[in-house]
Amino acid sequence: MSQTATPQTATAQTTADVPVAAAAARQAGSRAGNAGIPAALTTLGPVTFAKALNTALADALEADPAVVMFGEDIGTLGGVFRITDGLTARFGRNRCFDTPLAESGIVGMAVGMAMNGMRPVIEMQFDAFAYPAFEQIASHVAKMHNRSRGRLKMPMVIRVPYAGGIGGVEHHCDSSESYYAHTPGLKVFVPATVADGYRMLREAIDSDDPVMFMEPKKLYFSKEQVDLEALRAEYEAGTSRAEGRAAVARSGTDATLIAYGPSVPVALAAAEAAAAEGRSLEVVDVRTIVPFDDETVCASVRKTGRAVVVAETPGFASVASEIAARVQERCFHSLAAPVLRVTGFDVPFPAPKLEHYFLPSVDRILDAVDDLQWED
């Protein structure tokens, strides 16, 4: 089977309009000339992922006076990615404000605020800069409800711009979701579409449990044809629940690609390329790693009989490992081949000019699909 097809005419919903350097880095080294997201589709719709998140934050501030936002540079500047753009001006400095530059301080203060009736939504500026806060997250955010037998709730959201694909320098591109997913007491949400950006952030803020909200930063400026008014109405009517509900992002019959966050568009592009070659791939978007939707994932795998897990994270002891294990535990008799994984290598996140070697690509996914023992 040919592995050189590049999906020029993909109809995938999500497109990317990422910075030029990132796009160049992505395209530089893939043997297919494209690491995943079709560059041609940048004009589909008017709403960016960033705008959807910004709207969700504004709507949450509007809906509940207990919601308060703080972090580094999120006030006057609107955040380095502008996700909180305009919120301080609109809601005032008591609702959205800058803090001293100290991540443990930000998370620890949020714990106290949550104990005292607030619903903090805080921003870690980048994935790897959240590590100083890890003690607060692992020892308090995750455990407070359990330690107190449910008396102390932790209704807080920790927003983490995360993962690579933007040509970022070191410490700006880590896939840190596995650390959090491994910590009982945390929920881990990873939206992959503009619409999910809105609805999952609203849901995270309304959750009485703490949510690590992982924002794939390479998708910030991707666009989608969505109606934010309709999304808001849908959310407020309670008909758009995403927590614990994976989504079938593309239907197929031959094999299932299981992905989340930044890997979903790559998986969709791979499915498009495979379709051109006559192979029908289903794509399941996990959406919330914790809680995990075994049902939807396994229903898809039982239907197709084959599965590849796609994730940007280094694969060893990762969320991708967990998904692969869960699928084979539950779907063994439906499987025609072992569950494979396409992940980053087990190396520190590479320098910008090397990241395209590291990131799961359409080609790697198609190679893995080829390896799913199609012939007896």
For the bound state, the minimum distance from the C-beta of residue 291 to other proteins, rounded and expressed in Å, comes to 4
Instruction: Report the C-alpha gap between 345 and 270 in whole angstroms.
Output: 19
Minimum CB distance to other proteins smaller for 109 or for 351: 109
Instruction: Report the C-alpha gap between 241 and 146 in whole angstroms.
Output: 25
For the bound state, the minimum distance from the C-beta of residue 122 to other proteins, rounded and expressed in Å, comes to 11
Binding site for other proteins (CB under 8 A): 68, 93-94, 97-100, 102, 104-105, 107-118, 120, 132, 135-136, 139-140, 143-153, 184-185, 187, 208-209, 244, 290-292, 294-295
Instruction: Report the C-alpha gap between 215 and 368 in whole angstroms.
Output: 26
Cα distances from 340 to residues 120, 203, 245, 259, 324, in angstroms, run 39, 32, 22, 12, 7
For the bound state, the minimum distance from the C-beta of residue 22 to other proteins, rounded and expressed in Å, comes to 33
Cα distances from 87 to residues 52, 68, 146, 147, 214, in angstroms, run 14, 11, 33, 34, 20
To 5 degrees, how large is the angle CA 78–CA 84–CA 89?
70
Minimum CB distance to other proteins smaller for 46 or for 112: 112
Minimum CB distance to other proteins smaller for 99 or for 222: 99
For the bound state, the minimum distance from the C-beta of residue 118 to other proteins, rounded and expressed in Å, comes to 5
Instruction: Report the C-alpha gap between 230 and 237 in whole angstroms.
Output: 10
Longest dimension (CA), the chain: 66
Cα distances from 310 to residues 200, 270, 321, in angstroms, run 21, 11, 10
Annotated catalytic residue within 140, 145, 172, 356: 172
Minimum CB distance to other proteins smaller for 63 or for 115: 115
Helix H segments across the chain?
20-29, 49-63, 87-91, 103-115, 134-135, 144-147, 177-181, 194-206, 228-236, 263-276, 294-304, 319-331, 355-358, 362-370
For the bound state, the minimum distance from the C-beta of residue 145 to other proteins, rounded and expressed in Å, comes to 6
User: Residue 247: CB partners within 8 Å, gap ≥ 6?
Assistant: 196, 284, 285, 287, 296
Minimum CB distance to other proteins smaller for 107 or for 369: 107
For the bound state, the minimum distance from the C-beta of residue 204 to other proteins, rounded and expressed in Å, comes to 13
Minimum CB distance to other proteins smaller for 100 or for 238: 100
Alpha carbon of residue 106 to chain centroid = 22
For the bound state, the minimum distance from the C-beta of residue 194 to other proteins, rounded and expressed in Å, comes to 27
Task: Provide the 10 A C-beta neighbour count for residue 54.
Answer: 23
Whether 197 and 56 have beta carbons less than 8 Å apart is answered as yes
Is 172 part of the annotated catalytic residue set?
yes
Minimum CB distance to other proteins smaller for 122 or for 309: 122
Give catalytic residue positions.
Answer: 172
